[in-house]
Structure 1
Amino acid sequence: MRRSRAALMAVVLATTASGTAAVTADAAPASATRATACPTGWGSLAEARAAATTVPVRDVGTGRHACFDRLVVHVPGASAASLGHRVRYVDRLRQDGSGRTIAVGGGAVLEIRVAAPGYRPETGAPTYPGRAGRPLPGVDLTGYSAFRNTRYAGSFEGETQFGLGVRARLPFRVLVLDGRVVVDVAHSWGAAR
């Protein structure tokens, strides 16, 4: 019991530090008689933070956790204080600039905007390999509980826009750390699973 709890804490600390590591089945105590305590207090209303950086987006990763799925937008070199964002549920993902609708699969769509360019501001050369309207490169959502689909909407006037298709309109939270914006989507509205 004590060893399982220590192993779980080590995984939690490592996951928090890396931002994208997934909890493995071996690391989480697998007791049929005890439910995993999941965070409560998350909601589904828009979250935003007014800040901006010229440090470009480099990558997007995901991770599976016991209570939530995680998407991390990597902006290496940007301080947490300079990373702005706006995350909200939308009826349709509309690309900035053109207004073109981008189809995102799932029961609900989270629009994720990070106030950082997906290109080098001085040259316009892309720093993130995504293509508008296409799934996020390198992101495989097989086996995820909440996540269903991803789409890159593009980068326009210093903001980079993503669409995240989720199973339903589930509660989420946004964390801002040095070099990354983290969006966690709960597997359910319940406090435990």
Structure 2
Amino acid sequence: MRIRSALTALAIVLAGLVAGAGSGAAASTTATTTSASPYCGITWGSAEKSAGTLSSAPLVDVRTGRHDCYDRVVFEFAGPVDGYSVGYGETWTEGEGLALSPYTAGGALLRVSLRAPAYDDSHVGTVPYRVGEHAANLLRYSTLRDVVFGGSFEGYSTFAVGVRARLPFRAFVLAGPGGHSRIVVDVAHRWQE
């Protein structure tokens, strides 16, 4: 009788463990899948991105834009340009080598190096030191905090883009309008949903 009671109790305990383990595994799988969902399907990451070669087409405009899932900075050139390097870290002025972090806002700094000049054939600058017309509007952006020009030297132009935090970003080239080209940098509003 005792053996039968002990076996019955053991069977009940084992059945409970098996049922608990099954539901725990299902809950664990669901939680892992949900927490790993990328924000807006964004899978860009935050590692440095670079492409292209040096060009002589000058930078003629810098503008920003807000989107549902990311904020955008657009660098427009008067001709074909495809060279850039974008990554997180301190940004230095071209030629002089001064740190730009004291002049930018935000919790993180994107270093944007464009492989094209910000001056024309007469060496006259084609962009202002600070992208002033957009700076006040950046207060309403989810991610962007500041865009500061770090100079242009020997065909390279540098910008420090202040962002709220180290977040996923992408960089790519677009043709147009007309004979112009654009290098675009998008920074996500957050990592995950």
Please, what TM-score do these two structures have when normalized by structure 1? 0.72
2:83 matched residue in structure 1: 84
1:124 matched residue in structure 2: 123
2:71 matched residue in structure 1: 69
1:158-173 matches, cutoff 5 A: 158-173=155-170
Superposition deviation, residue 142 in structure 1 = 2.3
Superposition deviation, residue 160 in structure 1 = 1.0
2:96 matched residue in structure 1: 98
Q: Which one is further off, 164-173 or 100-109?
A: 100-109
Stretches of structure 1 that go unaligned for 5 or more consecutive residues are 1-36
Q: Which runs of 4+ in 1 moved over 6 A?
A: none
State the SS of the aligned residue for 2:59.
coil
Separation in structure 1 between the aligned mates of residue 93 and residue 125 of structure 2, nearest angstrom = 17
State the SS of the aligned residue for 1:38.
helix
2:148 matched residue in structure 1: 151
Separation in structure 1 between the aligned mates of residue 97 and residue 169 of structure 2, nearest angstrom = 26
Please, what TM-score do these two structures have when normalized by structure 2? 0.72
Q: List per-residue Cα deviations over 1:149-169 (Å, max 9, x = no partner).
A: 221101111011101110100
1:49 matched residue in structure 2: 51
Matched, 1:107 2:107: yes
Separation in structure 2 between the aligned mates of residue 53 and residue 172 of structure 1, nearest angstrom = 24
How large is the Cα RMSD of the aligned pairs?
1.3
Preserved CA contact (<8 Å) 1:147 1:165: yes
Preserved CA contact (<8 Å) 2:94 2:157: no
Superposition deviation, residue 123 in structure 1 = 1.5
Amino acid at match of 2:88: Y
2:132 matched residue in structure 1: 137
Amino acid at match of 1:101: A
Separation in structure 1 between the aligned mates of residue 79 and residue 99 of structure 2, nearest angstrom = 32
Structure with the higher helix share, 1 or 2: 2
- Sequence identity of aligned pairs in percent? 40
Separation in structure 2 between the aligned mates of residue 164 and residue 39 of structure 1, nearest angstrom = 23
Preserved CA contact (<8 Å) 1:42 1:173: yes
Report the structure number with the largest CA radius of gyration.
2
